[in-house]
Amino acid sequence: MNVTSSEFKLSAVGPAQYPEDGLPEIALAGRSNVGKSSLINRLLRRKNLARTSSVPGKTQHMNYYLINQSFFFVDFPGYGFAKVSKQQREVWGQMIERYMLERETLKLVLMVVDLRHPPSKDDIMMYEWLTHYDRPICVVTTKADKVPKTRWQKHAKVIKQDLGMRPGDPFVMFSSETDMGKEELWTIIEGYLGT
């Protein structure tokens, strides 16, 4: 993908704020601090478009980024942050549920997990939830640079098993430090965008 333009477009909590231009959307979900903002910034070759936040769980909106005037990244709020109240969790759940149920322009969900660790309970729940809506999912494992190369496949296997990954869903090992996986991920995204 040759990214020629990328901009923050809008924040949404529900359908009333979703863009109405019918452009395809790639959603990103992952627990707080997993490296989701860094991933977006690296893919778009922007230093700080998706704010790399030191306060996990702060953003409670879906953030829309318009790329090449032709599709959106939709960044879901990070989950699994202990300080988020039960009520906030429910609001968050309803927000994502509505989106998954109703959003016809959604082409692919990037489920972002940390390659270093087995998936958390929240990761597993999230994956089950996404598969429930029968949406295409690509699992992207971040921070691969922090795992010795000799252990990559082992860690990948644990993550695939623990998530109960569907056989057809793509899986990419990624690093925002080394750009590992970047081209592979763009190729997958392009495939789902149909470009």
* Residues at the contact surface with ligand GDP, assessed by CB under 6 A: 30, 32-38, 52-53, 56, 78, 142-143, 145-146, 175-177
Closer CB to ligand GDP, 43 or 137, in the complex: 43
Tell the smallest beta-carbon distance from residue 38 to ligand GDP (Å): 3
**Token couple for 96:** 């994502």
**What are residue 127's phi and psi, to 5 degrees?**
-65, -45
In the complex with ligand GDP, the residue whose CB is nearer, 9 or 105, is 9
Residue number with the shortest CB distance to ligand GDP?
35
Minimum CB distance to ligand GDP, residue 25 (Å): 18
Q: For ligand GDP, give the closer residue by CB, 52 or 105.
A: 52
Judged by beta carbon, residue 56 or residue 118, the one nearer ligand GDP is 56
Please name the residues in contact with 108: beta carbons below 8 A apart, sequence gap of 6 or more: 26, 27, 135, 136, 137, 138, 188, 189, 192, 193
For the stretch 183-190, contacts whose Cβ atoms lie closer than 8 Å and that sit 24 or more positions apart, written own/partner, are 185/43, 185/110, 185/138, 185/140, 186/1, 186/43, 188/108, 188/138, 189/1, 189/26, 189/108, 189/110, 189/138, 190/1
Nearest to 27 by CA among 96, 110, 97: 110
- Minimum distance of ligand GDP from residue 98's CB (angstroms): 22
Nearer to ligand GDP, 33 or 189 (CB): 33
Helices (H), the chain: 36-44, 86-102, 121-132, 152-163, 182-193
